[in-house]
């Protein structure tokens, strides 16, 4: 079980690294001048590659988490309300990841009109979610 847990943590950390950086690319895309086609193309390529890689990292993170929960029973039973909240946060992280892919498609079609300031705030969401998940898993407050 410890090997499964270790690899789950590694893949979750890697997944979040991508979720931390992808919105930073969006900040830069939102700041690109309309006539700077090469810069825009380069940032879009970086974002596509990072999204693909981040998506690939999310799959084993989720699969190993399900394995720990289902097979080993981590977080099941009375006194494990923290796991319910953690699972809700995992669903929100998946939603955030999906919203990143929607945002990238909008940038690619030139229909994204949010400011770089909006993306700077958007970039803080995965930090808050990861903080909450780690506190729930380590402290198990309820």
> pTM for the full model?
0.94
Burial of 38 (0-12, 13-18, 19+ CB in 10 A): exposed
The residue-averaged pLDDT of 78-85 equals: 88
Contact in structure between 40 and 29 (CB atoms under 8 Å): yes
What are the pLDDT digits (tens) for 19-60? 999 999 999 999 999 899 999 999 999 999 999 999 999 999
pLDDT, averaged across the chain: 96
For every residue of 19-33, DSSP letters joined together read HHHHHHHHHHHHHS-
- Domain borders along the chain are 2-139
């Amino acid at each position: 079980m410890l090997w499964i847990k270790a690899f789950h943590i590694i893949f979750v950390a890697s997944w979040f690294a991508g979720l931390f950086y992808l919105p930073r690319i969006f900040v830069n895309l939102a700041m690109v001048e309309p006539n700077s086609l090469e810069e825009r193309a380069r940032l879009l390529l970086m974002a596509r590659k990072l999204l693909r890689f981040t998506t690939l990292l999310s799959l084993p993170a989720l699969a190993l988490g399900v394995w720990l929960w289902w097979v080993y029973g981590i977080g099941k039973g009375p006194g494990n309300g923290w796991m319910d909240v953690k699972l809700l946060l995992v669903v929100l992280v998946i939603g955030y990841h999906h919203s990143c892919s929607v945002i990238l498609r909008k940038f690619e079609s030139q229909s994204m009109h949010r400011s770089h300031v909006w993306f700077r705030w958007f970039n803080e969401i995965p930090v808050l979610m990861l903080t909450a998940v780690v506190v729930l898993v380590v402290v198990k407050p309820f």
